[in-house]
Amino acid sequence: MSLKLQKRIASYLLNVSKNKIKFNDKNLQEIGDAITKSDVRKLIGKKIITVKKVNAQSRYRARLNLLRKRKGRKQGIGSRKGSKNARLPSKKAWINKIRMQRSLLNILRSKGLLTKEIYRDLYKKSKGGFFRNQRHLKVYLEEHKILKNDENK
């Protein structure tokens, strides 16, 4: 007995490929008698005609890679899409840098480790891009012995 028609109707109703349709072996006679859409719909309702389980794509490796990326791996040149400026705009980098330097200067001034004149001088140097980063600023302070009481640092 050929069940091509029933398979075709079922695939149409369930909106899947003919290869994904599964018939219950015990009810083949009943399936053979179903020749209309409504007959096939009833069989689908009774779970005599079902859809084969989809073999989903594994996310195991994708999850592992996501963990690695969160750790900071997989960021090499071959993985980069945008330019250096697109990934971290130079303006944003500058804002981050200057905010850190200014906050350090503010803290030192509020603790009384810097005089007003020295604070102004260092502030202007920061604004002019003299210091590469916060560490460079600290090294400069140590080398020039600028801090009033160096032991409280």
Residue 59 falls within a domain, yes or no? no
Shared domain check, 148 and 91: yes
Shared domain for 147 and 97, answered yes or no, is yes
Is 11 within the bounds of a domain?
Answer: yes
Hey, what's the torsion of the CAs at 78, 82, 83, 86, to 10 degrees? Answer: -150
> Does any domain span residue 58?
no
Q: With respect to residue 18, please indicate whether it lies within any of the assigned structural domains.
A: yes
Looking at the 3D structure of the chain, how many domains does it have? 2
> What average pLDDT does the segment 96-105 reach?
98
Q: Is residue 115 part of a domain?
A: yes
CATH number (domain holding residue 9): 1.10.1650.10
Domain, as residue range, for 109: 87-152
Q: Flag whether 22 is in a domain.
A: yes
138 and 94 co-located in one domain: yes
* Contact assessment for residue 32 and residue 59, using Cβ atoms and an 8 Å cutoff: no
Residue 148 pLDDT > 80: no
Residue 141 lies in a domain: yes
Report, as an integer, the average pLDDT of 40-53. Answer: 94
pLDDT digits (tens, 9 = 90+) for 57-99: 999 999 999 999 999 999 999 999 999 999 999 999 999 999 9
Is 63 part of a structural domain of the chain? Answer: no
* CATH number of the domain where residue 117 is located: 1.10.1200.60
